[in-house]
Amino acid sequence: MSSPIYKRILLKLSGEALMGKQGLGIDPLVVNEVAQELKEVKQLGVEIGIVIGGGNIFRGLSASARGMDRVSADYMGMLATVINALALQDYLERYQVFTRVQTAIKMEQLAEPFIRRRAIRHLEKGRIVIFAGGTGNPYFTTDTAAALRAIEIEADAIIKGTKVDGVYDDDPKINKNAIKFDQLSYLDVVKKRLKVMDATSVMLCMDNKLPIVVFNLTVKGNLKKLILGEAIGTKVCEEKND
C-alpha cells in the first residue's frame, strides 16, 4: 500500500452531500457511507478535521434573499451545521472511530467549544474533530470556516467533497462540453469566478499557501485514493506547476 501524501487534512463537506437523493434532511445511508470512507482514511494514519455545512436543513443566504433578517438566518444556518455534525459523529462512533465535535458557538451540553490547542491535541491523539457552527459569525460561509480552521490546525490541504469530479469552466450537468481543470492557481479561481469556494476562503488559502483539492465524494473509494496520491479531482495551489 502506498503512503498517504497528507499527514493532516481538513475535509469540507456540504450539507447537501448528506441528503443523498432526498430533497431535504439527512440520508442515513449516505452518512453511513461517508463514515466508512473516513474510517478507511483514518486507518492510514491521517489526522482528519471536518467542517460541515447545513444546506440540507437550512440555507441562511436563501432565507435572507426571501426577506428574513440576514443575521438571524445565518445563525439558524449555523445551528443546522451542528445537527449534521452530531449525525456524522454518531455514525463514525458506530465504527469505533473516536470523534469530538467542536462548535464556534458555545453549547456545552452538545459539544466542546472550539479551542485551537485542544483541537490539535485531539488530532494528535487520533480523534476525528468535526468543526460545527461555521465561524460563529454571520455573513461568513462554511467555506470560510473551512479555510480558517484548516489554517488554525495547520492542515496540509483542504479536501472539498462535492457531487462532481472536479472544477469545470461551466456546469457539467447542463453543458456537456464543459472543460474540467486538473490544476488551477488561486488567482485563476478568483478571476474566472469558478465555483470552488467563495472568494474570501480562496484568498485565505492563497495567503497561507494552503492547497485545495476538489473531488467527487459520491464515488466510493475516491477519498482514500486521493489521500494515497492518485490524480483525482482538481487541485488549486499557488502556481499551476506546483
pLDDT digits (tens, 9 = 90+) for 224-239: 999 999 999 999 998 7
Q: What's the confidence (pLDDT) of residue 130?
A: 98
Q: Poorest-confidence range of 41-55, 88-102, 129-143, 158-172?
A: 158-172
For residue 233, being part of any structural domain is answered with yes
Q: Residue 176's pLDDT is what?
A: 85
In a domain, 242, yes or no: no
Q: Does residue 52 lie in a domain region?
A: yes
Domain range spanning residue 95? 8-237
Q: Which of 240, 78, 55, 232 is nearest to 159 (CA)?
A: 232
pLDDT digits (tens, 9 = 90+) for 188-224: 999 988 888 989 999 999 999 999 999 999 899 999 9
CA 37 to chain centre: 14
CATH of the domain at 233: 3.40.1160.10
Q: What number is the average pLDDT over the span 146-162?
A: 96
Q: Is the pLDDT of residue 242 over 60?
A: no
Please list the residues that pair with 109 across neighbouring strands.
none
Nine-digit cell string for 35: 463514515
In a domain, 13, yes or no: yes
Kindly tell me the sign of the dihedral angle through the C-alpha atoms of 104, 141, 14, 242.
negative
Q: How far apart are CA 49 and CA 156, in angstroms?
A: 11
Q: Does 139 map to a domain?
A: yes
pLDDT at 166 over 60: yes
Measured in degrees and rounded to the nearest 5, phi and psi for residue 52 equal -120, 140
Residue 3 placed within a domain: no
The three cell numbers of residue 140 are: 461568513
C-alpha–C-alpha distance, residues 33 and 142, integer Å? 22
> Is 197 inside any structural domain?
yes
- The predicted pLDDT at position 18 comes to 87
The mean pLDDT of the chain is 92
Q: Is residue 173 part of a domain?
A: yes
Single pTM value for the model: 0.92
Specify the number of domains making up the chain. 1
Q: Is 122 exposed, middle or buried (0-12, 13-18, 19+ CB in 10 A)?
A: buried
pLDDT value for 240 = 54
Q: DSSP 3-state assignment of 78?
A: helix
**Contact between residue 8 and residue 156 where contact means Cβ atoms under 8 Å apart:** yes
Nearest CA to 40 among 222, 240, 232? 222
Helix, strand, coil percentages in the chain from 3-state DSSP, rounded to 5: 40, 20, 45
pLDDT for residue 59 is more than 80: no
Rounded to an integer, the average pLDDT of 18-41 is 90
